[in-house]
Structure 1
Amino acid sequence: MFDALPQLALRLLPLVARLGNLSEAARALDVSQPAASKAIVRAEEMCGLALVVRGRRPLALTAEGRILAEHAERQEELARLTARRLDDCRAKGDGVVRIASFGASASTHILPQIVGAVARRYGRLQIEITENTDQPTLQALHDGSVDFATIVETEDPDLELLHLKQDHLVALVRSGDALARRGALDARALADVPFIMTKGGSEPLVRAWFARAGAEPKIRHSIQQITSILALVRAGMGVSVIAETAVPETHEGVSVKPLEPSFPRTICLARRAGGFSSHAAEIVWRMAAEQALGR
């Protein structure tokens, strides 16, 4: 019902209540007095109720007119609030952006730079990061529960990819081990000793690297946390292969060795093809692209 009422009448009623004069209310809105009077009459006809008390000076609203005036004021305040929120979204990046990370490589070495750059320019834009293994991360992106995901480069036609960083697989061996004294390690050398398989996201790549050489690791342990893998390697319980960017800055007692042949991978920020779910998401994507270009 309210949507059908003349908008001019809704704007006039609060002014009439405040000014006590229809002519002054019309002047405040830069409309003629006849137009204002006609709008009030039309609103009364549609409501089936008198909205102003006629024949009295100063002009006053009826009880029903006051109800409608209060409604109009609330709607006007809501409109101002909505406009302010949209302005904040446009100018300040107000909003929440959710990113799924496939593990330590992205969470440690890539996303902090993007989050920091966004925070410096858009202090009111919030970024929430959820870390998981590869498949749940990709599933969250396809389900729409996150805006973006860090993944290894894929041929998925439903995704748009932003290349962020090139990474390599490396071997982890105990510092006192004979393998630590060698240069690059090949699959044959690593297949002859107990192996600790990472469950943190790189497992398919590790298996592919061994398979290319026609070798297969002797898996004794399957571990998700990098710190746990390092502890087992340090204790002499096996060797492992993980992504280079996942290796912590300090890894006492563990030597990091290059692989032969090298096995590179490209870490990407991925989003579902099509439009962005919010202006905040568009900001994050744009700034991630700037970070990638400047790396």
Structure 2
Amino acid sequence: MTFSQLRVLVAVARTGNMTRAAAELATTQSAVSHALRLLEGELGLTLFTRNTHGVTPTDAGRAVTRRAVLVLAQLDALEQEAATARGESLGRLRVGVIPSANASLLPRVLRAFTTAHPGAPLTVLEGSDEEVLDWLATGAVDVATLTTAAPGAATTPFARDRMLAILPAAHRLSSRPSVAVTDLARHPFIMSTGGCEPLITDLVRRAGASLRCHYRVRDTGSILAMVAEDLGVSIVPELALPARTTGVCAIPLEPEETRTILLGLPEAGAASPMATAFAALALEQVPPAHRCHGDRP
């Protein structure tokens, strides 16, 4: 197994297409296919299913790709530390993000950052809160969005949003202005495993309720689709919702529950100038409706 094979794996998973991955890596499609075949043979796994529209990762492929992204980030960190020891700076930035922050908050921050620092190599790794915490702790990323404080890291409030009950559009509770967690607990529940499970578990505990978790799903889009099919109800952060939803309604909880998204940096004095600049810029780009008023880095 080589780093080149892992780069091919990540590029194919990201683009969903051998030709686009080859163009991104400045190589040929046959070289990409060959690298994947060798990697699959060495692992004894089928990583992608091929069809006329491109390639789709298998479950094993998705798991291996997530690990490959982390390995390559660690390699990048090693190269950057070596450059720093030589008195050089690669000026690279690796950002770890939870899905809801990546979907709703990060695009405008990334645009502002690339405008302010054109040409600066930038890598974004998306993962659950637990995964992003691990990346920040191990140095795989330079700055991260989190929902829980990271031991040994400097954190500052980044944004706030409400936790919302997600119900089928025709559900008998959908006409209410707000919904209690105890009411949701009477219905099959679809638990989000993409990072919000600890928050949901805590608010359910405080409400003195007990959920009947029929499904555990990582992707918010999948949760919304399952709720629309009346397979259950769920709780999702406001920022995780797409601009338009079909077949579901989102209602505030009663009492209102909010979530604070944090920006995490390595412990004081260890953050790179690029990471510090990114964090300051990110705080400026938060929409007013989700700003943590009065908080300062």
Shift in Å, 1:164: 1.5
Distance 1:265 1:244, change over 3 A: same
Aligned residue among 174, 177, 184 for 1:180: 174
> Whole-Å Cα distance in 1 between the matches of residues 119 and 171 of structure 2?
51
**What is the CA-CA distance between 1:163 and the residue it aligns to?**
1.8
Root mean square deviation, CA, Å = 2.2
Tell whether 2:152 aligns with 1:161. Answer: no
Match of 2:116 among 102, 106, 121: 121
The 5 Å alignment of 1:11-160 reads: 95-103=91-99, 105-154=100-149, 156=150, 158-160=152-154
Aligned residue identity for 1:264 = T
How far off its partner does 1:102 sit?
Answer: 1.8
Percent identical among aligned pairs is 31
Match of 1:273 among 259, 267, 278: 267
Give the counterpart letter for 1:169 in structure 2.
M
Unaligned runs of 5+ in 1: 1-81
* Residues 1:251 and 2:251 aligned together: no
* Counterparts of 1:172 and 1:143, CA distance in 2: 35
Shift in CA distance, 190/284, structure 1 to aligned 2, threshold 3 Å: same
Normalising to structure 1: TM-score of the pair? 0.65
- Cα deviation for residue 227 of structure 1 reads 1.1
Residue 157 of structure 1: how far off its partner (Å): 5.1
- CA displacement, residues 182-230 of structure 1 (integer Å, 9 cap, x when unaligned): 2200011101111101111101111111111110111101111111101
**Deviation of residue 292 (structure 1)?**
5.0
The equivalent residue for 2:12 is none
Aligned to 1:33: none
Could you list the runs of 5+ residues in structure 2 that have no partner in the other structure? 1-82, 292-297
Distance in 1 (CA, whole Å) between partners of 2:112 and 2:97 is 18
**Counterpart position of 1:286:** 280
Matched with 1:217 is: 211
Please report how far the alpha carbon of residue 134 of structure 1 lies from its aligned counterpart in structure 2 after TM superposition. Answer: 1.1
- Distance between the aligned counterparts of 2:139 and 2:201, measured in 1? 30
In the alignment, the residues of structure 2 paired with residue 283 and residue 125 of structure 1 have an alpha-carbon distance, to the nearest angstrom, of 12
Post-superposition, which runs of at least 4 consecutive aligned residues in structure 1 deviate over 6 A? none
Tell me the distance in 2 between the aligned counterparts of 1:228 and 1:246. Answer: 12
Q: Distance in 2 between matches of 1:172 and 1:291?
A: 28
8 Å contact 2:152–2:267 — kept in the other structure?
A: yes
Cα 1:184/1:249, change in 2 over 3 Å: same
Q: Which structure has the larger Rg?
A: 1
Cα deviation for residue 114 of structure 1 reads: 1.4
Contact 2:265 2:271 in 1 (8 A): no
TM-score by length of 2: 0.64
